[in-house]
A and B are shown apart, each in its own frame.
Chain A
Amino acid sequence: MSAEIKWVYSDKVREHFTNPKNVLMDEKGYDYDGKGVVGNVKCGDEMIMYIKVDGEKQIITDCKWKTYGCASAIASTSILSELVKGMTLEKAYRVSPKDVAKELGGLPEHKIHCSVLGDKALRAAINDYYRKNGMEDRITREEARIVCQCMNVTDLEIEHAVLEGARTFYELQEMTKLGTVCGQCKDEAEALLKQFVDKHFSDTEP
């Protein structure tokens, strides 16, 4: 009976959750070139990514990880670690949550934030490598721009809220407190909301 019942996520998520690839079992014995930690156990997800880099070719030769989190977080990290092997740093830097979700055969909307951490951790690991190798100029800072002046809410925070599930202006307000004082930013915030929903959530549903 149980075999006939559809699983909660895609087969790909199931595969990577059941048999996660490239888990780092022994940090001390692993000679990595870059390490990135993102997330927080308090929020339910934490990821550490480790990369080995071929300095000449600027290619990721190996990737290992540790993740505290749910099935989609585990599967996201696992598939990402496979995906980036052999990839140039430049290309790996641009891997998006959408790419991860696509590789996994889609994630439910409320689980997209789990895949967000993966690519963030990867970028953090690459940044770590750049820093250690005197290539700070390659680090792209994520520049935040304030949208709501009253409550000091930035566009990055709006994007984050969208990834965490905000779909309506009301939900955005609930999560960020944006536009709760003078309300002047409402039009811009709504435009950004739409933009980020399109960016992250068109065609990612299974």
Chain B
Amino acid sequence: MYENLIYMDHNATTPLHPEVKKAIADALEVFGNPSSLHAYGRHARDLVEEARGTVARFIGASPDEIVFVGSGSEANNTVLSALTCRSSRCACSVDLVRHALVTTTIEHPCVLESSKCLRERGFPVAFLEVDEYGKVRLDQLEEKVTEKTGLVSVMMANNEIGTIQDIRTIAEMVHDRGALFHSDAVQAVGKVPVDVTQLGVDFLTISGHKIYGPKGIGALYVKNGVPFCPLIRGGHQERGRRAGTENTLGIVGLGKAIEMREREMAGEEKHLLKLKEALRKGFADRIPDIHFNGHPTDCQPGTLNVSFEGAEGEAILLYLDMEGIAVSTGSACASGSLDPSHVLLATGMSAERAHGSIRISMGRQNTREEVEQFIDTMPAVIKKIRDMSSAYKRS
């Protein structure tokens, strides 16, 4: 359908894996309610539980620790909102003193907005800052996670710059201070190895559509024994942790997507790193006054965030779109807000540089030829924009 187009926006979403398509197509006939006891229901239940097993195995969890939800955003909202629960039924109210949240300045908006909402409801919220590469400042963690902190939420891989946090160390520090730890791993699971036992997290968020699965399905890992409070109530589904008839097709799709990640992820990393290095070198050799953002090594293999002086991100994005290349930008103009990417600003980057940034996120189908074509296209695009720019030094 998209012949001759180059898709390099995998951190936004991904195309369905052909095997996922097949699995969903096969499951289309399975309409039974997984909660029904008859054959129709049992058939659907089998599919759901098979997928649950796959997801659990992939991240080193046990199946009863996996809750299927409607999206990564829902998973994150669920975890954060549990902090407000005072019901003894949920076992959340173990310690009424621990009602503060600590998170970071570079989280996805679904965590940031939920955090602000908690603050407005009277719960103390502290934000950990990051260094110039987007790594969480552990000295601040030491200081801000106190005996009043109930939950700490730190994303594993950042969607905009790709920086990967040392989750294991952070989880350990958090647990030493007696708080629970959640990681939004939407941009990590299926891209880099994730094992919940090794990492020592209490909650972990997974999304389907970032890893060649369908949209509208996510999973939340909830460690056995940790307090939990559902966001959506009114049904026994997911062992009472998420009401609503299961999205069987979505769950089947997510299960298959994870199964394919299990098979393909390891071999893909090298390929993506090579492509990224080629892009980096190609741009650096042929375009002056550019900067690469994010951590040089602790980064998603396929993500490259780069700033172009004197060129605005949305203009770059739209010219590239006309050339058949799809990327995204951290500029304000594309998002409709006035401030550029909060992530880039959090790394201490100037607003000027943040406005001129684009995010290239490659995936399993990108090729060396596409990268070459991108490298050949980019210099003229940037030159065109800079030629009309009031902000690029005119020589």
Residues in A lying within 8 Å of B, measured CB to CB:
1-2, 8, 17-18, 20, 23, 25, 27, 37, 41-48, 65-74, 108, 110-111, 113-114, 164-165
B1 at interface, CB cutoff 8 A:
yes
The winner among A23, A41, A47, A165 for most chain B CB atoms within 10 A is: A41
B389 at interface, CB cutoff 8 A:
yes
Q: How far is the CA of A165 from the CA of B336 in the complex (A)?
A: 9
B315 at interface, CB cutoff 8 A:
yes
A70 B3 Cβ-Cβ under 8 A: no
A4 to nearest B CB, angstroms? Answer: 11
A70 B2 Cβ-Cβ under 8 A: no
The 9 nearest A-B residue pairs measured at CB: A70-B333, A68-B391, A70-B314, A66-B390, A110-B336, A42-B351, A23-B388, A41-B391, A68-B389
B347 contacts across to A, CB distance below 8 A: none
A-B residue pairs in contact (CB < 8 Å), sample of 17: A2-B324, A18-B322, A20-B388, A25-B387, A27-B394, A42-B350, A44-B312, A44-B331, A44-B338, A44-B340, A44-B355, A45-B333, A47-B390, A68-B312, A68-B389, A70-B312, A73-B333
Q: How far is the CA of A67 from the CA of B385 in the complex (A)?
A: 9
Q: How far is the CA of A167 from the CA of B161 in the complex (A)?
A: 32
Size of the chain B interface, CB-CB below 8 angstroms: 32
Q: Which residue of B lies closest to A113 (CB)?
A: B338
Q: How far is the CA of A68 from the CA of B353 in the complex (A)?
A: 12
B392 at interface, CB cutoff 8 A:
yes
Q: Which residue of A lies closest to B4 (CB)?
A: A2
Q: How far is the CA of A52 from the CA of B355 in the complex (A)?
A: 32
Within 8 A of A (CB), among B337-383: 337-338, 340, 350-352, 355
Q: How far is the CA of A50 from the CA of B1 in the complex (A)?
A: 46
B315 A71 Cβ-Cβ under 8 A: yes
Contact of A70 among B334, B337, B388 (CB under 8 A): B334
Q: How far is the CA of A164 from the CA of B332 in the complex (A)?
A: 12
B284 at interface, CB cutoff 8 A:
no
Which label, helix, strand, loop or mixed, suits the secondary structure of the B interface? loop
A164 B338 Cβ-Cβ under 8 A: yes
The winner among A25, A44, A48, A165 for most chain B CB atoms within 10 A is: A44
Q: How far is the CA of A77 from the CA of B134 in the complex (A)?
A: 36
B311 contacts across to A, CB distance below 8 A: 68
Given contact pairs A1-B2, A20-B388, A68-B389, A74 touches B315 in the complex (Cβ within 8 A)? yes
B310 at interface, CB cutoff 8 A:
yes
B355 contacts across to A, CB distance below 8 A: 41-42, 44
B92 contacts across to A, CB distance below 8 A: none
Q: Which residue of A lies closest to B329 (CB)?
A: A70
B290 at interface, CB cutoff 8 A:
no
B1 contacts across to A, CB distance below 8 A: 1
Within 8 A of A (CB), among B302-330: 310-315, 318, 322, 324
A48 to nearest B CB, angstroms? Answer: 5
Given contact pairs A70-B333, A71-B315, A73-B333, A41 touches B352 in the complex (Cβ within 8 A)? yes
B333 A46 Cβ-Cβ under 8 A: no
B331 A48 Cβ-Cβ under 8 A: no
B37 at interface, CB cutoff 8 A:
no
A126 to nearest B CB, angstroms? Answer: 18
Q: How far is the CA of A43 from the CA of B391 in the complex (A)?
A: 12
Q: How far is the CA of A69 from the CA of B390 in the complex (A)?
A: 9
B378 to nearest A CB, angstroms? Answer: 17
A114 B333 Cβ-Cβ under 8 A: yes
A8 B318 Cβ-Cβ under 8 A: yes
A67 B318 Cβ-Cβ under 8 A: no
A145 to nearest B CB, angstroms? Answer: 24
Q: How far is the CA of A183 from the CA of B313 in the complex (A)?
A: 39
B39 to nearest A CB, angstroms? Answer: 42
Q: How far is the CA of A5 from the CA of B163 in the complex (A)?
A: 33
B90 at interface, CB cutoff 8 A:
no
Q: How far is the CA of A42 from the CA of B351 in the complex (A)?
A: 5
